[in-house]
């Protein structure tokens, strides 16, 4: 997918490489793909999910990031591609209520440019897998997951944006067929209000579009509500794990954000938001 020549969204702030357990793509291949898309700034946000359930598919430490090796390669490639693209140092932390102290120590141990706080597990179960949904309706599962996000962000705030707010919708049996902001307004308003009070942002994540959803994460209703409540910090991320998904769906995002009331999107450098005009 080629971006339009006049396209102004030139960053992707949710990218994985083979330093994440669920990607096999070398970092340099992702950088070259971003260059071919005309991006000028990218941020790698490798997975770091402590205490992830051990299974045959996910052995112990599967999502625990070797941060020193990751940083070594990133610095090397940042220097190699200097002047062509700005490669920034990020991480996607997997939030769980009992990990507050461990994640706080980790987040302070490196000079990250950007930290995403994401909820992948709910009560110790990864919502990616069918067992999370067994014996419950999608609505019950979605609500349980959103409550878990609220619990997580109340306990831990050393992140810059809250990742893919309605990630769970990708994996429900009905996906987003009967899903909308209004159905879960009570919990979404608590989440969004708290994030704004803490001066945290959200990301617009197009990974759900790739999975077949009608709208990105979070859905348009949540994006509009975040803006109405006073939210201004919003990053764009494709959640790419392979080169073909870099900036996925980006050609639609500028107008979508404008329709939701936004005039700027954000990138982060040294944990400080920079605003770019849409």
Q: Which residue has the tokens 């307004």?
A: 185
- Beta-carbon contacts of residue 260 (< 8 Å; ≥ 6 apart): 220, 223, 224, 227
Integer Cα distance of 199 and 159 in angstroms:
10
- Contact (Cβ atoms closer than 8 angstroms) between residue 221 and residue 181: yes
Q: What is the pLDDT of residue 3?
A: 41
All residue ranges of the chain with pLDDT < 50 are 1-6
Closest CA to 94 of 139, 143, 53, 142: 53
Distance of CA 175 to CAs 144, 160, 179, 182, 276, Å? 15, 27, 8, 16, 32
pLDDT score at 251: 87
Q: In sequence order, what E strands does the chain have? A: 11-15, 41-48, 86-94, 114-118, 121-122, 125-126, 161-162, 201-205, 234-237, 264-269, 272-277
pLDDT score recorded for residue 2: 39
- Burial class of residue 194, CB neighbours in 10 A (0-12, 13-18, 19+): middle
- Alpha carbons within 13 angstroms on the beta-carbon side of residue 16 total 22
Alpha carbons 51 and 21: distance in angstroms, whole number: 14
Residue 203, Ramachandran bin (φ over 0: left; ψ between -120 and 50: alpha; else beta) = beta
- Beta pairing class for 264-269 and 272-277: antiparallel
223-270 confidence digits (pLDDT tens):
999 999 999 999 999 999 999 999 999 988 999 999 999 999 999 999
Name all domains of the chain by residue range, CATH numbers in brackets.
Answer: 11-277 (3.20.20.140)
What's the confidence (pLDDT) of residue 9?
85
pTM exceeds cut of 0.85: yes
């Amino acid at each position: 997918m080629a971006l339009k020549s006049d396209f102004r969204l030139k960053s992707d702030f949710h990218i994985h490489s083979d330093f994440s357990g669920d990607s096999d793509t070398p970092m340099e291949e992702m950088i070259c793909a971003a260059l071919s898309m005309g991006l000028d700034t990218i941020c790698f946000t490798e997975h770091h999910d402590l205490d992830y359930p051990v299974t045959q598919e996910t052995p112990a430490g599967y999502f625990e990031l070797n941060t020193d090796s990751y940083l070594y390669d990133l610095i090397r490639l940042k220097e190699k591609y200097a002047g062509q693209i700005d490669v920034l140092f990020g991480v996607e932390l997997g939030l769980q209520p009992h990990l507050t102290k461990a994640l706080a120590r980790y987040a302070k141990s490196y000079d990250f440019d950007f930290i995403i706080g994401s909820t992948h597990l709910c009560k110790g179960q990864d919502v990616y897998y069918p067992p999370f949904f067994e014996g419950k309706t999608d609505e019950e599962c979605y609500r349980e997951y959103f409550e878990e996000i609220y619990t997580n962000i109340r306990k831990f705030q050393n992140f810059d944006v809250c990742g893919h707010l309605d990630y769970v919708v990708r994996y429900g049996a009905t996906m987003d067929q009967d899903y909308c902001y209004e159905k879960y307004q009570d919990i979404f308003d608590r989440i969004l209000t708290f994030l704004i009070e803490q001066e945290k942002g959200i990301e617009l994540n197009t990974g759900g579009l790739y999975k077949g959803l009608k709208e990105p994460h979070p859905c348009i209703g949540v994006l509009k509500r975040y803006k109405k409540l006073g939210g201004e910090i919003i990053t764009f991320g494709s959640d790419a794990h392979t080169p073909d998904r870099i900036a996925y769906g980006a050609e639609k995002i500028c107008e979508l954000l404008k329709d939701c009331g936004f005039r700027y999107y954000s990138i982060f450098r040294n944990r400080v938001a920079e605003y770019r005009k849409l």
